[in-house]
Each structure stands twice: as structure tokens, then as C-alpha cells.
């Protein structure tokens, strides 16, 4: 086995790689593609044609589905197209229409259940990173049934708790290209909320934290669909005055560093078993501590009293918000550099790739 690998990264088609605005999984795929290319590996990214990843883009649809106008009528057809394009690449050894490339050594699936049928009829090892929650009764049987020529990667230990019996290959927390997140040594004067407007993320609790603490709040969040709009109109809009509570809309990667870095703290009062929470480490990379409820991965990512404050009670988080200036922003940045760098994430995935190839070469079970 040579040191260099050809890795196929399968991204969801709903956002471009990298995303133009909000997007978690697609952003991780973009970071990983960059890390793998920088480490000397060949990368083919199966994603929407408006993507611009490191490595080679294999387009599966003309534009990312969420921002398509008119809206896509049947996303399952796009998912099938992705699967068929990958199957064709595996059978021909060619990942495009120009010149043949070396065969794919590893398939790294970030696209949920859709690619799992491949595990029954291809010999190329496939790893699947699970980016979502595993405690939903309708989805867990599918993950259990799709055992084959692959293993699963968790992004936190908390994510595994609902399904400890899955064929886990590794636990690999996310990592960031830290140069994209400049360190801001001086605390700002507002709390930041960055994410989605939805019940799981509880932006209205971020409003309560601001009101309890007396610290202004800026909300940079995606509003998606009627449910998101209704939640915003009912829970958030009545409090938005453009001064103390400000809604700034979705922001791009270019805006994110300043938005997070210029904040006093990130408000992350989630109300669901968060598998990871990429925004937490983005804030830490900027030097900004985090206020969070201890759901899902939060206690794995944050250290109470060091890189933020963790409390169940929203009123308590409001009280703790006033103590944020006492936390060291240098320590927050150092934590990101040591635990959540792109280099560390890339090395962890390369270890998993090589391990699964070795198991295949020796005919060992991957379950």
C-alpha cells in the first residue's frame, strides 16, 4: 500500500462545498478536502456543480438544492444520481470525463443513508461519518441494517450513546483551518447567536440570556421554510428592536470571523442532543467563550469555567454571561489549536482510512 490515497468524499447536495451561507456537513467536507490535498492525497468531491472544493469536483446537480430557484421537486432523484455517478466511477476507474485517474482507494460518505447500498456490492472500503442524531426511532434500524464493507465514524462520544452497537471505526471531532478564524484578543460588547431558527437551537432562549444579563444580542441565523418563519415570527421577532436584540440574517464565511470574534460570548442554549456543534469551535478559534446548555456533545467540547460556562437553566446562563470577561480568550484560542485543528482532524481520518484498508487486505471483519 502506497502512502498516497485517492479518496472520494460524498457531500450532501443540499448546500455547495463550501456553503455560500449556512451549512455544517458541507463545511466539514470542504475543510477535510483541503486538509487531505495539503497532505498530498488525491481527492474527488461528489457535490453540487456550484461547489469549489480542494481536489477534483464531480458534479451531481447543477446547483445546491436549498438555494435552487425554482425549488427542487424530488431530492431523491438527485441522491440517486450521486449514487450512480459514484458506481460508474468505481467500475471504470475514472472520476470524470477528461482523463482517467487512479482508482478510488477509499469512499468517505458524508451523505447520510443514501450511499449505504454501495456497501453490499462494491469492494472499495467505505467509511460513513454520521453527522446527525441517532436517537430517532425511524432512522436507527437503517443504520443497523446497512452493515457491510464499511465502518461508521462518530463526531462525538455523546452521539454514540443512542446506538453503541453500531460498527464504529473511530470517533473524530471536527477540525478547522484556523487561518480562516482570526484570533480576537479583546472581548466585544454583545452576545452572538449563530445557527438556525428552530426549536432545537432555541434562539428565543438566547434572547432570554441577553435580557437576563443586560448584554445585547446579535442573531445571525438561517430561517428555512414555513416552520422556521413561523418560529421566528412568534418567538424572536417581537423582541427584535435593531439595538438590544438585532437580527442580521444569514452570514457568509467571510463575515463569520468578525461576527464571532467581536462578540463577548457565543450563546448556544440548545435543546436537543447536539452531535457536535461546529459553531462552538468556530467561536473558540476566534477567542470567544461559549454559553451553553449541557446537551449532547457540549461537555466534550467545552470546559466549564475555562472555555465557557455550561448550565441547564437559562436564567443561570444569563447570570454567568456577566462573568465572560473573566475568561481568557487566549485559552479559548489555544484549545482550538490543540484539539480542533484541521491538521488533527485530517490525521485522524487518514489513520481511519489506512486502518480500514488494512482490515480489508487481511480479510478481517469491520463490524
DSSP for 300-320, written as a single string = HH--BTTTEEE-S-HHHHHHH
Question: Percent helix, strand, coil in the chain (nearest 5)?
Answer: 40, 15, 45
CA distances from 261 to 130, 147, 186, 291, 322 (A): 29, 43, 9, 15, 17
Which residues 6+ apart lie within 8 Å of 84 measured at CB? none
**Which residues lie across from 154 on neighbouring strands?**
171
- Could you tell me the sign of the dihedral formed by the alpha carbons of 271, 275, 278, 281, in that order? positive
Prior bond to 70 cis, omega within 30?
Answer: yes
Q: How far apart are alpha carbons 97 and 292 in whole angstroms?
A: 48
Using DSSP's 3-state secondary structure scheme, residue 108 falls into strand
Question: What pLDDT sits at residue 39?
Answer: 96
Note the CATH number of domain 178-339.
3.40.50.2000
Examine domains 6-175+341-361 and 178-339 and report if their fold is the same.
yes
Write the pLDDT tens digit of every residue in 94-130.
555 444 468 999 999 999 887 887 767 778 899 999 9
Note the CATH number of domain 6-175+341-361.
3.40.50.2000
Which backbone phi and psi does 281 adopt, to 5 degrees? Answer: -75, -25
Q: What is the Cα Rg of the chain in Å? A: 21
Write the pLDDT tens digit of every residue in 18-59.
988 777 899 999 999 999 999 999 999 999 889 999 999 999
Question: What pLDDT sits at residue 365?
Answer: 47
Picking from 75-84, 265-274, 291-300, 310-319, which range would have the lowest pLDDT averaged per residue? Answer: 75-84
Residue scoring higher pLDDT (107 or 3): 107
| pTM assigned to the model | 0.91
pLDDT > 90 in the chain, percent: 68
Q: How far apart are alpha carbons 317 and 135 in whole angstroms?
A: 27
What average pLDDT does the chain have?
90
Domain range summary for the chain, segments of one domain joined by + = 6-175+341-361, 178-339
| Contact criterion met (CB below 8 Å) for 9 and 41 | no
Question: What pLDDT sits at residue 101?
Answer: 65
Which residues 6+ apart lie within 8 Å of 299 measured at CB? 158, 310
CA distances from 153 to 121, 267, 352 (A): 21, 28, 9
Instruction: Answer yes or no: is pLDDT of 91 > 90.
Output: no
Amino acid at each position: 500500500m502506497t502512502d498516497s490515497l485517492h479518496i472520494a468524499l460524498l457531500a450532501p447536495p443540499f448546500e455547495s462545498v463550501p456553503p455560500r451561507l449556512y451549512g455544517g456537513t458541507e463545511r466539514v467536507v470542504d475543510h477535510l478536502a483541503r486538509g487531505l490535498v495539503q497532505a498530498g492525497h488525491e481527492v474527488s468531491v461528489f457535490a453540487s456543480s456550484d461547489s469549489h472544493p480542494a481536489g477534483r469536483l464531480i458534479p451531481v446537480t447543477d446547483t445546491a438544492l436549498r438555494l435552487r430557484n425554482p425549488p427542487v421537486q424530488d431530492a431523491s432523484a438527485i441522491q440517486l444520481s450521486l449514487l450512480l455517478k459514484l458506481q460508474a466511477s468505481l467500475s471504470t476507474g475514472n472520476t470524470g470525463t477528461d482523463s482517467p485517474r487512479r482508482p478510488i482507494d477509499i469512499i468517505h460518505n458524508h451523505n447520510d443513508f443514501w450511499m449505504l447500498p454501495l456497501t453490499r456490492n462494491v469492494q472499495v472500503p467505505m467509511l460513513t461519518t454520521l453527522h446527525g442524531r441517532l436517537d430517532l426511532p425511524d432512522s436507527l434500524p437503517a443504520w443497523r441494517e446497512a452493515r457491510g464493507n464499511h465502518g461508521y465514524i462518530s463526531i462525538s462520544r455523546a452521539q454514540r450513546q443512542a446506538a453503541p452497537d453500531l460498527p464504529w471505526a473511530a470517533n473524530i471531532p471536527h477540525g478547522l483551518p484556523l487561518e480562516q478564524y482570526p484570533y480576537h484578543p479583546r472581548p466585544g460588547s454583545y452576545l452572538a447567536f449563530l445557527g438556525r431558527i428552530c426549536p432545537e437551537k432555541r434562539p428565543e432562549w438566547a434572547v432570554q440570556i441577553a435580557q437576563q444579563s443586560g448584554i445585547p444580542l446579535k442573531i445571525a441565523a438561517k430561517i428555512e421554510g414555513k416552520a422556521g418563519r413561523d418560529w421566528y415570527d412568534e418567538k424572536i421577532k417581537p423582541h427584535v428592536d435593531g439595538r438590544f436584540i438585532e437580527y442580521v440574517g444569514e452570514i457568509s464565511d467571510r463575515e463569520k470571523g468578525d461576527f464571532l470574534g467581536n462578540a463577548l460570548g457565543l450563546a448556544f442554549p440548545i435543546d436537543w442532543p447536539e452531535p457536535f456543534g461546529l459553531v462552538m469551535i468556530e467561536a473558540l478559534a476566534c477567542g470567544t467563550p461559549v454559553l451553553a446548555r449541557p446537551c449532547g456533545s457540549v461537555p466534550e467540547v467545552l470546559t466549564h469555567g475555562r472555555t465557557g460556562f455550561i448550565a441547564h437553566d437559562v436564567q443561570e446562563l444569563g447570570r454567568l454571561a456577566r462573568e465572560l470577561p473573566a475568561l481568557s480568550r487566549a485559552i479559548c484560542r489555544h484549545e482550538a489549536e490543540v484539539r480542533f485543528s484541521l491538521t488533527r482532524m485530517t490525521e485522524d481520518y487518514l489513520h481511519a482510512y489506512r486502518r480500514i484498508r488494512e482490515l480489508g487486505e487481511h480479510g478481517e471483519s469491520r463490524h
